[in-house]
A = this chain, B = another copy of it.
Amino acid sequence: MENSLPQHTNRQYAGELRELRIRLLKMGGMVERQIADAVNSLVSRNSEQAGEVIARDAAVNQMDVDIDAMCVRLLALRQPAAGDLRFITTALKINYDLERIGDLAVNICERALELNQEPIVKPYIDIPRIAEIAESMVKDSLDAFLRSDCELAEAVITRDDEVDSLNGQIFRELLSYMAEDPEAIGRGTRILFVSKNLERIADHAGNIAEMVVFMVKGKTIRHMDDSKLGERR
């Protein structure tokens, strides 16, 4: 906020930045709920809930458009200085990630609607576990952004490995399951796609977390692999 605008304009500007944070937090909350409800619609075979998640995507999309417009307006009218500028351009990209996460929740619901009409392959045990981790990664990555908390962001990045390993486990289990019962191949692959979608949600959260570290430290840990991350500590 080190610009040369008159003080009342500065107050207004600070209010707008606060409003941007609040909206991002709200967007994050909406998206977390979309993930949780999508997975629940599958696990509890609740197709009505799946339909509700799909319907709510319009509100997530509207929020995306609003936040995007707000960022552009702030850039246009407030000519933010270095720190705020990096905050706003990062917000622009994080918002984009959150909207994509919303789309992935819709994808999960589409698979749930198909799977709920068929007999259960096996109880969904690992799917809710991946979902829980992915959801917490989304929440923590956004919190890390809003609090400029590098440590929390780095913890999110580390958790991505857990998701990848759980996803690999589900993949192997479902493969052997489908090999034993070729009738279950259609259902098995749909569950694989759900698992993949959750992995992608975790990836988005990981991307957000990397941007936070980049924003705070001003260095590029984006695109570094974990071993290098380890060295840096």
Contact = CB atoms under 8 A, between A and B. Distances in A.
Interface of A: 58, 61-62, 64-65, 71-72, 75-76, 79, 81-82, 85-86, 89, 92-93, 96, 171, 175, 178-180, 182-183, 185-186, 189, 192-193, 196, 220, 222-223
B58 A223 contact: yes
Contacts of A92: 89, 92-93
27 contacts: A58-B223, A61-B222, A61-B223, A62-B223, A64-B223, A65-B222, A65-B223, A72-B86, A75-B75, A76-B85, A79-B79, A89-B92, A96-B96, A175-B189, A178-B178, A178-B182, A178-B185, A179-B182, A179-B183, A179-B185, A182-B182, A185-B185, A189-B189, A189-B192, A192-B192, A193-B196, A196-B196
Number of identical monomers bound together in the oligomeric complex: 2
- State the main secondary structure of chain A at its contact with B: helix
Nearest to A179: B182
Contacts of A175: 185-186, 189
B75 A85 contact: yes
A34 B161 CA distance: 25
